[in-house]
Chain A
Amino acid sequence: MNSVPRETPALLPSGVPEDGPAPRRRPIAVHLIGQNIGLILALAILGLSLIIFVGLFAFEQHRLPGNFEVTSSVNNTMPLALAACGQTLVVLTRGIDLSVGGVVDLTNALAAIFLAGSVLHMIIVSVLILLVGAAAGLVNGLVVGLGRLQPIVVTLATLSIFQGLAIRALPQPGGVVPTGYTAVLVNPNVPTALLFVVLAVLGWMALRRSRLGVAIFAVGNDEQSAVALGIRAVRTKIIAYTLAGTLYAAAGLFLAANATSGDATTGDVYTLTSIVAVVLGGVSLFGGRGSAVGAICGAFITTMIVNILFYAHINPLYQSFYEGLFLVIAVVLGSAVGSFARRGR
């Protein structure tokens, strides 16, 4: 490379006269905003929903939301936030994971059964449960990656399998989660669970700056090109699904800690709500674009919407209606703003 002379004449784009000035560059801020518009919108919507919630709450209760409201909101959102992070990894590779609910069911059940005894014992059980989630994800990844089957149908099938295993483990709701465990994960008095959110964000930032992260994004952008560039697409997908499974297991642990007992079916709902959170977070369902931070925002937005509907005294029977309507409006607005931000060449 040192043999290339510095006096290489500049290559100008066609249409520009030889002696003309170099074309103007767009300011860096424009690029940053345009390329992260999904995350920015998610943060904006989250902020807006917080403001509305605080306003409604204050109007209703004549005080600002206190420790209890914040803590319970955060604790209730933790499982979804983690599940959404896992779903993000899969969606980034241009896949979709319908087995989320099954893994959450299974790990929730196992947690309620086996968490007991000494701190060391509970730590070991937690690690093993995370490994169960990883194994579930590994199965998904192997079938999708090596079997060359579409993710939606593979995870549709494994959903059944994991749900079955969950019911086998815990046929009736029961089991107990020790209060100490709950206190660590989803402390009911202080929103310490936010620390775990921070951990997740840090983990995401590290992933983004790692070879694996680049590979995940590349595979989601264009798998053929990624392979031509030397990226091992199959291996990347297997790892992505495995990591996702681990995150679903973590969601199951938080769900168990929050509910303090187990139920092999309460996790079902996380399949579709994790997709909603991911979409609200600005992650593209076509792969290659998006941020887990956005997905976490999406999870919190979901909780805020429920809170807002409650404090606005909306008939709870109509809750789904407003949630569905909100989802469509958010997506339409998001893509409108996104395309507006990207225009202007």
Chain B
Amino acid sequence: MSASPDAPGGPQQAAGPPATGSDDPTVTAIAGRGLSKAFGGVQALRAASFAACAGEVHALVGENGAGKSTFIKLLGGRLQPDSGTILLEDRRIRLSGPADATSRGIGTVFQELTLLPWMSVAENLLIGREPRSSLGLIRRSNLASEAEELLARFGITHIDPRALAAEVSLAERQIIEIARVIIRAPRILLLDEPTSSLVEREVAWLFSRIRELRAAGTAIVFTSHRWNEITSIADRITIFRNGAEVGTFTGIDETEAITLMTGRRVDALYPALPPAPAAASRPPALDLAHAILPGSRPAGSAERAPAELGFSLAPGEILGIGGLAGEGHRELFLGLFGAPPLRRAVIRIDGRPARIAHPSDAIHAGLGIALVPEDRKSEGLLLPLPVRDNLTLPILSRLSFGGVIRSGAERRMTRDIIGSLGIRTPSAAQPVGALSGGNQQKVLVGRWLLAQSRILLLYDVTRGVDVATKHELYELMTRLAGEGRAVLFYSSDTEELAHLCHRVLVLRRGRIAASLAPPALTAEAIVAAAMRETLAV
């Protein structure tokens, strides 16, 4: 019963649980009716209702802020609803906490991983159900072997149960989190963005587990921003917008879904690309040479020296960087920004050699480099501080005289940028943490526009971002490139790279595995280049 994107006649609405006259007798496993929840002044859910049946995979989709995560947290006992009821197999229940939900057979994998970093994978997996001796004490010596066995039953053999959770990769942590929940054979499985850190092979593994659980009668609810995943596994799709459900469908087209999610038509997902800059008319905005990224050490003894990496970026060009996570992308972006710098790399900005030892070097002195990191909350913005402080922090030296900030100039600049970007905030003194996600992202971009950055390093800025904001970001990117700024863009979404970039360099093991330009620039080509072994130089 997968949702089919090509179903004739447009979206096939399913009103509530499938009619009892269908093949499988289905029981509503879990439901929320009229759930409302507010945080501070923000109404996250407005009397939203949703039901999932046993033996189905039900996807929850919607923009960030539509309420999907909040709904899952309510069903998983992590939060208490302000009003409304939760029903477990048609019985009203009140969940006192996550442990209560677990004991009732509701297993939840929240978006924020709950692994304990300094405890081992085995300890994390078996927490609360450790093997015990006759005295009631935990058999620590058996933890690893029991964990190993449990993981193997689900086909996971490459994660060392003795390793600390902090030592394994993000993808492995997400897998362990999922494993911890499905080990307990929940009757209801709630997954909030379970695939955000996983690559295709791992996603396939997860979907196999989901199919097994579905066959065993588990009700599975999951949220995702990746449409191809949703269509491949979901039996039904419920769309949320603005804190309430909009409709439930067994088959719907992506564009229709986006329209329902955003409440407006989105004709094209990607804006038109500005023309590629003329070849070598000016010195490149950024030229990198002799960079050595981690992972570039040769695997065998065929090559003796680690490969050096280099490329040029022209003004007005959007250059994409593709490849699997962990192949040196982060170090490249941080290195170009001086956080920390790339050793032995030679960087030229506008043809002149530049020494970038610290982010302040990159930001100032006519270099004008900006870095927008992937996690705006932990790396980009200072949430309790006012919008004004967040906007002007990098350029305080230009706004100060003798160390003292010229508040008049600062006020003017912030007022202007808030206006031109349309940042919705009651005042510039508002703590930036109180703004909505989209507006926060605008503050982050605004900061670099104020700094008059000419080279923008955008690192996975659309990850976990809703469709409408993604669209705004795409438009902003292409507009900035059209104005002559150079953009270096890394994304884990290969479709984005294929549609938004003039050129894409695929990294593999710290080296450039391929350089793709239209017409060879497609998502499939990027993936192929990322997986293929590096051609011998």
Contacts and interface: CB of A to CB of B under 8 A. Distances in A.
Interface stretch (A3-11, A69-77, A236-244): A3-11
Contacts of A217: 116, 118-119
Nearest to B102: A230
Contacts of B175: 11
B142 to A, nearest CB: 11
Contact of A229 (B98, B153, B158): B98
Contacts of A12: 158, 201
A8 B208 contact: yes
19 contacts: A1-B153, A8-B154, A8-B155, A11-B158, A11-B202, A15-B324, A26-B162, A31-B163, A34-B164, A35-B120, A210-B138, A217-B118, A217-B119, A218-B119, A221-B116, A221-B119, A228-B98, A288-B116, A345-B167
Nearest to A35: B164
A63 interface: no
Interface residues of A, number: 43
Contacts of A16: 158
Contacts of B158: 10-13, 16, 22-23
Contacts of B202: 11, 14
A183 B212 CA distance: 67
A11 to B, nearest CB: 4
Interface in A109-144: none
Given A9-B155, A11-B158, A31-B120, 4 more contacts: A1-B183, A11-B175, A209-B139, A230-B128
B116 A218 contact: yes
B298 interface: no
B201 A14 contact: yes
A11 B156 contact: yes
A15 B530 CA distance: 9
Contacts of B227: none
Interface in A10-30: 10-16, 22-23, 25-26, 28
Contact of A4 (B154, B163, B199): B154
Contacts of B157: 10-11, 22
A228 B167 contact: no
Nearest to B180: A229
Interface in B86-125: 97-99, 102, 110, 112-120, 123
A209 B201 CA distance: 37
Interface in A66-120: none
A3 B154 CA distance: 11
Contact of B118 (A8, A14, A289): A289
A226 interface: yes
B498 to A, nearest CB: 20
A35 B161 CA distance: 13
A225 interface: yes
Interface of A: 1, 3-6, 8-16, 22-23, 25-26, 28, 31, 34-35, 206, 208-210, 214, 217-218, 221-222, 224-230, 284, 288-289, 342, 345
Contact of B97 (A8, A25, A230): A230
B162 A31 contact: yes
B153 A4 contact: yes
Interface string B480-521: 000000000000000000000000000000000000000000
Given A11-B202, A218-B116, A230-B98, A3 B155 contact: no
Interface in B158-213: 158, 160, 162-164, 167, 169, 171-172, 175, 183, 185, 199, 201-202, 205, 208, 212
A23 B172 CA distance: 14
A230 B160 CA distance: 25
B127 interface: yes
Contacts of B172: 13
Given A8-B155, A11-B201, A13-B172, A25 B160 contact: yes
A4 B212 contact: yes
Nearest 10 CB-CB pairings of A with B:
A230-B99, A8-B155, A225-B114, A209-B137, A221-B116, A209-B138, A31-B162, A11-B205, A228-B114, A14-B199
B118 A221 contact: yes
Contacts of B97: 227, 230
A226 to B, nearest CB: 7
Contacts of A26: 160, 162-163
A3 B199 CA distance: 26
A11 B127 contact: no
A10 B112 CA distance: 26
Nearest to A18: B201
